[in-house]
Structure 1
Amino acid sequence: MSLEKESTAPADRRQAVALIVFVLGLGIMMPWNFFTTASQYFNERLRVVNVTGVATKDYQYDSWMTLLSQLPLLLFTLLNSFLHQWVSERIRVVASMCGFFLLFSVTAALVTVPMHPDTFFSVTMATIWFINMCSAVLQGSLFGMVGMFPHRYRTLFMSGQGMAGIFSAIAMLFSILSNTGKSSAALGYFITPCVATLVTLLCYLVLPHLEFARFYLNRTGELELLSISDRKILNDVNLEGKSQQSRLSVLAVFKKIWLMALCFTCVFAVTLSVFPVIMVRVHTLYKGNAAWDRVFTCVCCFLLFNSLDFVGRSTPSLIQWPSKDSFLFPVAVLARIVFIPLIMMCNIENSRFLVVFRHDVAFVTIIALFSFTNGYLATLCMAYAPQLLRCSLDCETAGSLMTFFLVLGLALGAAFSFLLGNLV
């Protein structure tokens, strides 16, 4: 029926649906990326110093931000699996985006409001919790909707997610390079996701009015495309398929994909343990150059990481090595652990760890390899897992399991970042 459906589908005029799907993917990843990239702004506002200028309190913003981003994602992703039975997709998506807009607006407004660091930290952490709660509901809702479109549109949706990090890093770079003061630059930075959220919401509301989108989203009319004889043939094929194929239990599916699931967890646990918590503490060797010092973290940490991660996610469409059956694949995943001490040995000021790589070139090289392997190996894990199953009916179960292990890896990395942060 899918072949029949695609052969009779109308054209995606001017690739409007493709563009909207890309924007939706970008929109759902904005909260995490904008709060991560603004690390310098939040750490400056939370800086408490004594009369000698020495910091007297460390709020560990990056560690708490990472942890309080992943916990609601885990909890409300599970909740959304039940919520969709009682609340329509349209209500869930619109409510989540309105939540984005409101919470980003509050964050932007607080830029000009003087607050005690303790109060500001509490308000910021609460904002991060609720904004990621909305993000979890939004992701689950949009993933289901995009799944109704052909495969190319799911790829565009993932590409949009990858571009979100680059978008936020460029927005931060423009705010830093602007001639306005710090407050005005930060205000402009947080207004950007407010505008982007409104654009994303508008795109979502326009989508059902496009002929191409209506064709795939109107699932109730699928069987009406088939003649009576075609329906009989389809029913016979379904009955035969059910007799030849039976859905495996969750445990049975896990036994087949357990290696890929654990590799998936390891990839993101390693990444979140040092990004951004450790990476943002690295300073440039050329502190005398004020202009480079201002943009160093934004360019060499966030923009570089997100750009190479995007390249890594795109590379498996050209080459897939090591293969899923090769022992080199889990070895390559485990080998990424070496990036943790390598990044900790970069030029971190007042570090209690051994500093070996002081030059900026060394840091850039390490981050380039670190981010590329993150995107590349994570994408391979997602591509290989369904290939380990013979029955297509089990791919949905495999996808759910891989999503769980993805969030598990993020949560473990966030928790581990507290320990590493104290070590340096």
Structure 2
Amino acid sequence: MGIIDGFLEGIIGLVESSGFVSLGWQNYVMVAVSFVLFYLAIAKEYEPLILLPLAFGMLLVNLCPSIMGAPSTEFVLQSEYLKTHDVASQSVQYATTVMNGEVYYNVPTYGGLLYYLYQGVKMGIYPPLIFLGIGAMTDFGPLIANPKSFILGAAAQLGIFFTFFGAIFLGFTQAQAGSIGIIGGADGPTAIFVTSKLAPDLLGPIAVAAYSYMALVPIIQPPIMKALTTKKERAIKMSQLRPVSKLEKIIFPIVVIVLVALLLPDAAPLVGMLMLGNLMKESGVVDRIAKTAQNELMNIVTIFLGVTVGATATGTVFLQLNTLKIILLGLIAFCLGTAAGVLFGKLMCVLTKGKVNPLIGSAGVSAVPMAARVSQKVGQQENPTNYLLMHAMGPNVAGVIGSAVAAGVLLSVIPH
């Protein structure tokens, strides 16, 4: 009879610990959301390198919440502990606590797997490492050849600051508003970096919004670009960019990090890693580590970043009214950034007497190189002989620097 009772207790314990009993409806809704992200990543190939691990992290944490559980301390009655453990063989001496006249061992318990991997996000390690890889893959030649592109890259960041004030108006704190506004930069690592420092409780919704809008650049941007430009403007052909010397490409990252580090130290981790990666690439003397930054390191960090950020999107945190506000404000920020870039492109078109195609301004939102490709595609729809890609890459890589600088501004002015 004792064997049967023990077996039944085991079955009951198994059922009670299963997800069918312990999970709430919010968890199942988030499982459905993860399936949508899987569809976008696999079927539509929208930013699959980050959306797929992010969706899997979201799926995993909502099916098994303990995988993100933090370590804790368990109080175990000393007399009971000694019955099952050989204290003489224990190399670790646990602290003791006396409660109700009984002595208890303070036995530490381990956290879940993703809790430890998440520390790279929490401590601001993964986003700068992503920037290292981006820098090693980026050619700043189009930006160096046409420094005016910096203006377009900066203009596209205006959406960040407009949305920042809009979020405060809607009742968000300054720290939360800064994290929401940075979505407008269309730069996932930067959004995660800022949010992990200012509003870590919003990391899940903001990361999902940031990467979703990055993935939807080809859908969101063209209507805005066409609405703000004329057919004649979209058909403008731009002259070929001048060749850029190797010396210029080597000097550029050094000059940029010196200026940024002196003027805006909070942006130095992101911009510094970006410029280090680029210097490794352009110097030509460290090909081995440059390739590692581009490939192996970038891939490993992307997996850890995507899965752990997705694992912050639990049902109880994600399914709130504020989440809908964040997603809507993020879309507004992204649209405003695109619009500001195009409008400044129109201004440059007027000032240069028709030598600048305003479409390249939309690429200043930082989603490299997708935003530049969208500029190229929309331009070719009006003029099949038009080739705007390299011209758009100038504002595009300027937007990467611009979003990091905007992050530095927010971190320096918002208490955290």
What interval of TM-score do these two structures reach, taking the shorter chain for normalisation?
under 0.3
Q: Looking at CA atoms only, which structure, 1 or 2, has the larger radius of gyration?
A: 2
What TM-score, normalized to structure 2?
A: 0.24
TM-score by length of 1: 0.23
